[in-house]
Chains A and B, each alone.
Chain A
Amino acid sequence: MNWIDIGHIDDIPERGARLVKTHAGCVAVFRTASDEVFAASDRCPHKGGPLSEGIVHGNKVTCPLHNWVFSLETGEAQGADEGVIATYPIRVDGGRLFLDITELAARSAA
Chain B
Amino acid sequence: MTEKLVVIGAGMASGRMLEHLFDANPDAYDVTLFNAEPRGNYNRLMLSPVLSGDKTYDEIVTHGDDWYAANGVTCRFGERVLRIDRERKVVVGEKGEVAYDKLVFGTGSNPFIIPLPGHDLDGVIPYRDLEDTEAMMQLGDKPGAKAVVIGGGLLGLEAAAGMAARGVDVTVVHIMGHLMERQLDEAAGYLLRKSLTDKGITVLCQANSKEIVGKNGRVKALMLDDGTELPCDLLVMAVGIRPNIALAQDTGLATGKGIHVDDQMVTSDPSIFALGECVEHNGAIFGLVAPLYDQAKVLAKTLMGEPATFVNKEVSTKLKVTGCDLFSAGDFAEAANREDIVFRDPARGVYKRLVLEGNRIVGAVMYGDTGDGAWFYNHIKDGTDVAEMRDTLIFGPAFQGGATADPLAAVAALPDDAEICGCNGVCKGTIVQAIEGGAGDLAAVRATTKASNSCGTCTGLVEQVLAATLGDDFQMPTAQPICGCSDHTHEDVRRLIKSQELKSQPAVWQELGWKTVNGCHVCRPAVNFYLLADWPLDYMDDPQSRFVNERNHANIQKDGTYSVMPRMWGGMTDANELRAIADAADKYGAVVKVTGGQRIDLLGVKKEDLPAIWRDLNAAGMVSGHAYSKGLRTVKTCVGSEWCRFGTQDSTGLGIKLEKLLWGSWTPHKVKLGVSGCPRNCAEATCKDVGVVCVDSGYQISVAGAAGMEVKETEALVAVKTEDEVLEWVTAFIQLYRERAKYLDRPYRWVAKVGLDWVKDTLADAGTRADLVERFEISQSVYRTDPWAAEVAKSERYAPLANLMLEAAE
The answer to whether B801 touches A7, judged by C-beta atoms less than 8 angstroms apart, is: yes
Give a binary string over A37-71; 1 marks a CB under 8 Å from any B CB, 0 the rest. 00000000001111001111110101011010100
The answer to whether B802 touches A20, judged by C-beta atoms less than 8 angstroms apart, is: yes
Given A50-B560, A62-B520, A67-B521, A55–B544 Cβ distance below 8 Å? Answer: yes
Give a binary string over A56-92; 1 marks a CB under 8 Å from any B CB, 0 the rest. 1110101011010100000000000000000000000
The answer to whether B804 touches A23, judged by C-beta atoms less than 8 angstroms apart, is: yes
The answer to whether A6 touches B802, judged by C-beta atoms less than 8 angstroms apart, is: yes
> What are the residues of chain B within 8 A of A18 when measuring CB–CB?
797, 800-801
The answer to whether A101 touches B804, judged by C-beta atoms less than 8 angstroms apart, is: yes
Q: Give the Cβ gap from A11 to chain B, nearest Cβ, in Å.
A: 6
Smallest CB gap from B484: residue in A:
A79
Interface segment, one of B411-419, B545-553, B576-584: B545-553
Of the candidates B518, B546, B560, B805, which one forms a contact with A58 in the assembled complex, judged by CB atoms under 8 Å apart? B518
Give a binary string over B598-637; 1 marks a CB under 8 Å from any A CB, 0 the rest. 0000000000000000000000000000000000000000
Give a binary string over A6-47; 1 marks a CB under 8 Å from any B CB, 0 the rest. 110001111110111111001001000110000000000001
Q: Give the Cβ gap from B514 to chain A, nearest Cβ, in Å.
A: 11
The answer to whether B804 touches A21, judged by C-beta atoms less than 8 angstroms apart, is: yes
Smallest CB gap from A34: residue in B:
B517
The answer to whether A21 touches B800, judged by C-beta atoms less than 8 angstroms apart, is: yes
> What are the residues of chain A within 8 A of B544 when measuring CB–CB?
13-16, 55-56
The answer to whether B518 touches A29, judged by C-beta atoms less than 8 angstroms apart, is: no
Tally of contacts, chain A with chain B, CB under 8 A: 91
Given A53-B556, A64-B547, A64-B556, A4–B517 Cβ distance below 8 Å? Answer: no
Of the candidates B517, B560, B804, which one forms a contact with A22 in the assembled complex, judged by CB atoms under 8 Å apart? B804
> What are the residues of chain A within 8 A of B801 when measuring CB–CB?
6-7, 11-12, 18-20, 29
The answer to whether B516 touches A55, judged by C-beta atoms less than 8 angstroms apart, is: no
The answer to whether A55 touches B517, judged by C-beta atoms less than 8 angstroms apart, is: no
Interface centre among A13, A19, A29, A60 (most CB of B within 10 A): A19
Bound together, the chains give a CA A57 to CA B542 distance in angstroms of 13
Q: From residue 752 to 810 of chain B, which have CB atoms closer than 8 A to chain A?
A: 796-797, 800-805, 807, 810
Given A21-B800, A53-B548, A105-B810, A62–B521 Cβ distance below 8 Å? Answer: yes
> What are the residues of chain B within 8 A of A34 when measuring CB–CB?
517
The answer to whether B548 touches A54, judged by C-beta atoms less than 8 angstroms apart, is: yes
Q: Give the Cβ gap from B799 to chain A, nearest Cβ, in Å.
A: 9
Bound together, the chains give a CA A29 to CA B729 distance in angstroms of 47
Answer yes or no: B543 CB below 8 A from chain A CBs.
yes
Q: From residue 551 to 592 of chain B, which have CB atoms closer than 8 A to chain A?
A: 551-552, 556, 558, 560
The answer to whether A57 touches B802, judged by C-beta atoms less than 8 angstroms apart, is: no
Answer yes or no: B243 CB below 8 A from chain A CBs.
no
The answer to whether A53 touches B551, judged by C-beta atoms less than 8 angstroms apart, is: yes
Answer yes or no: B524 CB below 8 A from chain A CBs.
yes
The answer to whether A58 touches B800, judged by C-beta atoms less than 8 angstroms apart, is: no
The answer to whether B805 touches A57, judged by C-beta atoms less than 8 angstroms apart, is: no
Answer yes or no: B214 CB below 8 A from chain A CBs.
no
> What are the residues of chain A within 8 A of B456 when measuring CB–CB?
none
> What are the residues of chain A within 8 A of B705 when measuring CB–CB?
none
The answer to whether B547 touches A55, judged by C-beta atoms less than 8 angstroms apart, is: yes
Interface size on B, residues (CB 8 A): 29
Answer yes or no: B519 CB below 8 A from chain A CBs.
yes
Answer yes or no: B525 CB below 8 A from chain A CBs.
yes
The answer to whether B802 touches A21, judged by C-beta atoms less than 8 angstroms apart, is: yes
The answer to whether B545 touches A55, judged by C-beta atoms less than 8 angstroms apart, is: yes
Q: Give the Cβ gap from B91 to chain A, nearest Cβ, in Å.
A: 70
Smallest CB gap from B806: residue in A:
A21
> What are the residues of chain B within 8 A of A101 when measuring CB–CB?
804
Of the candidates B516, B552, B800, B805, which one forms a contact with A53 in the assembled complex, judged by CB atoms under 8 Å apart? B552
Interface centre among B518, B545, B558 (most CB of A within 10 A): B518
The answer to whether A19 touches B525, judged by C-beta atoms less than 8 angstroms apart, is: no
Of the candidates B516, B524, B558, B800, which one forms a contact with A20 in the assembled complex, judged by CB atoms under 8 Å apart? B800
> What are the residues of chain B within 8 A of A105 when measuring CB–CB?
810
> What are the residues of chain A within 8 A of B560 when measuring CB–CB?
48-50
> What are the residues of chain A within 8 A of B517 when measuring CB–CB?
33-34, 57-58
Bound together, the chains give a CA A47 to CA B556 distance in angstroms of 13
Q: Give the Cβ gap from B268 to chain A, nearest Cβ, in Å.
A: 64
Smallest CB gap from B560: residue in A:
A50
Bound together, the chains give a CA A78 to CA B451 distance in angstroms of 41
Bound together, the chains give a CA A50 to CA B552 distance in angstroms of 13
Of the candidates A13, A54, A69, which one forms a contact with B543 in the assembled complex, judged by CB atoms under 8 Å apart? A13
Bound together, the chains give a CA A13 to CA B551 distance in angstroms of 12
The answer to whether B520 touches A57, judged by C-beta atoms less than 8 angstroms apart, is: yes
Smallest CB gap from B804: residue in A:
A22
> What are the residues of chain B within 8 A of A12 when measuring CB–CB?
801
Of the candidates A16, A57, A104, which one forms a contact with B516 in the assembled complex, judged by CB atoms under 8 Å apart? A57
Bound together, the chains give a CA A71 to CA B520 distance in angstroms of 12
> What are the residues of chain A within 8 A of B558 when measuring CB–CB?
47, 65
The answer to whether A58 touches B545, judged by C-beta atoms less than 8 angstroms apart, is: no
Bound together, the chains give a CA A14 to CA B518 distance in angstroms of 12
Bound together, the chains give a CA A65 to CA B804 distance in angstroms of 26
Q: From residue 183 to 234 of chain B, which have CB atoms closer than 8 A to chain A?
A: none
Q: Give the Cβ gap from A108 to chain B, nearest Cβ, in Å.
A: 9
> What are the residues of chain A within 8 A of B807 when measuring CB–CB?
4
Bound together, the chains give a CA A6 to CA B796 distance in angstroms of 14
The answer to whether A19 touches B805, judged by C-beta atoms less than 8 angstroms apart, is: no
Of the candidates A7, A15, A49, A67, which one forms a contact with B802 in the assembled complex, judged by CB atoms under 8 Å apart? A7
Give a binary string over B508-549; 1 marks a CB under 8 Å from any A CB, 0 the rest. 000000001111110011000000000000000001111110
Bound together, the chains give a CA A58 to CA B545 distance in angstroms of 12
> What are the residues of chain B within 8 A of A60 when measuring CB–CB?
520
Bound together, the chains give a CA A26 to CA B800 distance in angstroms of 9
The answer to whether A57 touches B804, judged by C-beta atoms less than 8 angstroms apart, is: no
Smallest CB gap from B523: residue in A:
A57
Bound together, the chains give a CA A18 to CA B794 distance in angstroms of 14
Bound together, the chains give a CA A11 to CA B521 distance in angstroms of 22
Smallest CB gap from B525: residue in A:
A55
Smallest CB gap from B547: residue in A:
A64
Bound together, the chains give a CA A54 to CA B551 distance in angstroms of 10
Bound together, the chains give a CA A6 to CA B804 distance in angstroms of 8
> What are the residues of chain A within 8 A of B810 when measuring CB–CB?
105
Q: Give the Cβ gap from A107 to chain B, nearest Cβ, in Å.
A: 12
Bound together, the chains give a CA A53 to CA B521 distance in angstroms of 12
Q: Give the Cβ gap from B376 to chain A, nearest Cβ, in Å.
A: 26
> What are the residues of chain B within 8 A of A48 when measuring CB–CB?
560
> What are the residues of chain B within 8 A of A6 when measuring CB–CB?
801-802, 804
Bound together, the chains give a CA A49 to CA B519 distance in angstroms of 21
Q: Give the Cβ gap from A14 to chain B, nearest Cβ, in Å.
A: 7
Q: Give the Cβ gap from B512 to chain A, nearest Cβ, in Å.
A: 16
> What are the residues of chain A within 8 A of B519 when measuring CB–CB?
57
> What are the residues of chain A within 8 A of B525 when measuring CB–CB?
55
Smallest CB gap from A13: residue in B:
B544
> What are the residues of chain A within 8 A of B551 when measuring CB–CB?
53
Smallest CB gap from A62: residue in B:
B521
Bound together, the chains give a CA A26 to CA B810 distance in angstroms of 19
Smallest CB gap from A104: residue in B:
B804
Bound together, the chains give a CA A109 to CA B802 distance in angstroms of 20
Given A22-B805, A64-B547, A105-B810, A54–B800 Cβ distance below 8 Å? Answer: no
**Between-chain CB contacts (< 8 Å), 28 pairs:** A6-B802, A7-B801, A12-B801, A13-B544, A13-B797, A18-B797, A18-B801, A20-B800, A21-B800, A21-B804, A21-B805, A34-B517, A50-B556, A53-B552, A54-B521, A55-B524, A55-B545, A55-B546, A57-B518, A57-B520, A57-B524, A58-B517, A60-B520, A62-B520, A64-B548, A69-B520, A99-B802, A105-B810
List the 9 shortest-distance A-B pairs measured between CB atoms, nearest first: A62-B521, A18-B801, A64-B548, A6-B802, A53-B548, A15-B544, A55-B521, A19-B800, A21-B803
Q: A55-B520, A55-B521, A55-B547 are in contact. List 13 more A-B contacts (CB 8 A).
A: A4-B804, A6-B802, A11-B796, A13-B544, A13-B797, A15-B544, A15-B545, A18-B800, A23-B804, A33-B518, A50-B560, A55-B524, A57-B517
